[in-house]
Amino acid sequence: MRQIVRTVAAVIVVGAVLAPASAQAQLRDVTGGEAVIQSDGQTVTVTLSVTCDPGNTIFGSIATLLGRHGNTLYQVSLSGFPFPEPACTGSPQPFVLSGFAFDGPIPVKNAKGTITSGLIGVGGTIESFGPLNVKIRKK
């Protein structure tokens, strides 16, 4: 999975480098939302709110969710590459990332976490976001 995330990140970066200057968009805002741990205890979906320049599209995103339960730290690599890509409207819109906790089930029912780093491809550009605070809950 980590190799897939790295490969996808490389594709996003290459696409941004090769994009014409007229396609350069701007990511206006990304805010944290809620991370939901699915019933298997390891699959996680995170809904963010993304605002970007109208007339552009969101290609995809990769990010990392970090959380803590007592003395246990957990990390989830997240990605979201919807097809077709959502169109930017200039207003906040939901964007869903998903991932899998490879170190085993996440031992929380309700907690707080942080998306420590992320990249999002919008209209041919790659922009970073984070850290973002998110609420974590079990489904």
- Count how many domains the chain has: 1
HSE at residue 13, side-chain half, CA atoms within 13 A, is 10
The parent domain of residue 54 ranges over 2-138
As a whole number, mean pLDDT of residues 1-8 equals: 49
| Cα dist from 49 to 22, 52, 100, 104, whole Å | 25, 10, 21, 28
What pTM, to 2 d.p., does this model score? 0.76
Taking a C-beta distance cutoff of 8 angstroms, is the pair 120, 50 a contact?
A: yes
What gap in Å lies between CA 129 and CA 105, rounded to an integer? 27
The CATH number that applies at residue 7 is 2.60.40
Lowest mean pLDDT of 20-24, 44-48, 56-60, 69-73, name the range: 20-24
pLDDT attached to residue 37? 93
Between β-strands 93-100 and 125-129, what pairing exists: parallel, antiparallel or unpaired? unpaired
